[in-house]
Structure formats: C-alpha cells, structure tokens
Amino acid sequence: MVRIPVVNEQDEILCYKEREETTREDIRRITSLFLFNEEGETLLARRHPNKSISPNRWGPAVEGTVDEGYDYDETIVKEMEEELGLKTIQPILISKEFYTITEAKRFCTFYYAVVPSDTQFILQESEVAEVRWISISDLKKWFLEKPEEFAFSFHIKVKLLEKVYEHLNQN
C-alpha cells in the first residue's frame, strides 16, 4: 500500500497514512500541471469514472497526490509520465497554495509547461479518460455554464490558470 504524508498548516509532515485511511480533516499534498500549446490553448483531462474524488470530471492536464518518499517536484514529473506519457518536459513552478473545499484540505503546487499542439499523449487509462485542448475563453464560458462538469477544486485552479495564460502572452 502507498502511504502519503499528512501535513499541518505550515506544510510540515505530521505522519504518514494509507491513502484510504485519510479523512477530510487531513491536509494532503498534491501537484497540478497546466499545459499550454503554441496556440495559447490549455489541455484539460477528464478524470477516470472510477476515481474516488471528482470522477468523470474535467481538471488540469495532470494532477496527483504526493506519496511517501517523493517531494512536489518529483511527483509532478512522475505524474506527467504516468498520466500523459510525457518524459522530456520540464515543468515550471508557479506557486504553492493551501485550500479547503468541502471534500478536502490540500497544499497544492502548481506548475505549467508549453508543448506543441501535435504532442502525442499516452493516457493512463485508470487515471485519465480523455484529454482536450481548449481556449481559455471557451474554458471560462464552459466553466461558468456547467461548473458541475469540473473537479471540485477547479474554481481555485481556473483563476491561477488565467494568470499563467496572461503571463505567457506578455512574454
């Protein structure tokens, strides 16, 4: 069984628990990756229907829990390779945020990377049902009209996604 760190409000490890033993009160570490292409679109991933949190909902291109023995940077690289088959991409750290939603408490590190739109992804079927490129304006419209189609914490992530998009367009 894979154990994960449970942390305090300063992101200091308190203990390790089996994933299934964690509660809504436990603060867990996760990572998220926003992928962009040369057209300024972002890649969304629809979570597998069998996922325990936000099944069949859309979210960032890559997302994963930090396991025992890994840090945030190692985890995002591992998750990119596992979920999308990306091996040569160097993600860039944006920020680390703490958030609380009804279902969970999380410290999340956010990363981004730019890849060609014709990149061939190898999806990990047990994690990712499908991926799709979408413009930021279409994503914002879709999210406003049908927020129930997105992962529970996506409202937090979409704001950061917009900031990264604006930053990329300024450079």
* Count of beta carbons in the 10 Å neighbourhood of residue 88: 7
Share of the chain above pLDDT 90, in %: 69
Confirm if 82 and 100 have CB atoms less than 8 A apart: no
- pTM of structure: 0.89
**Are 54 and 151 in contact, with CB atoms under 8 Å apart?**
yes
Structure tokens, 91:
């993600």
Q: pLDDT digit string (tens) for 115-166?
A: 998 999 999 988 999 999 999 999 999 999 999 999 888 888 887 788 787 7
Identify the pLDDT of residue 10. 96
Distance, CA of 102 to CA of 81 (rounded, Å): 30
For residue 62, give the nearest of 37, 40, 91 by alpha carbon: 91
Domain around 108: 3-170
Predicted pLDDT at 171? 60
Q: How many domains does the chain have?
A: 1
pLDDT over 80 (residue 169):
no
**CATH number, residue 85:** 3.90.79.10
Q: Name the pairing type of β-strands 128-134 and 104-114.
A: unpaired
CB 62 within 8 A of CB 42: no
Residue 71 · residue 34 · CB < 8 Å? no
Residue 54, token pair as written in the block: 């936000």
Residue length, the chain?
171
Taking the alpha carbons at both ends of the chain, their separation in whole angstroms is: 44
Comparing 108 with 167, the larger pLDDT belongs to 108
What is the Cα Rg of the chain in Å? 15
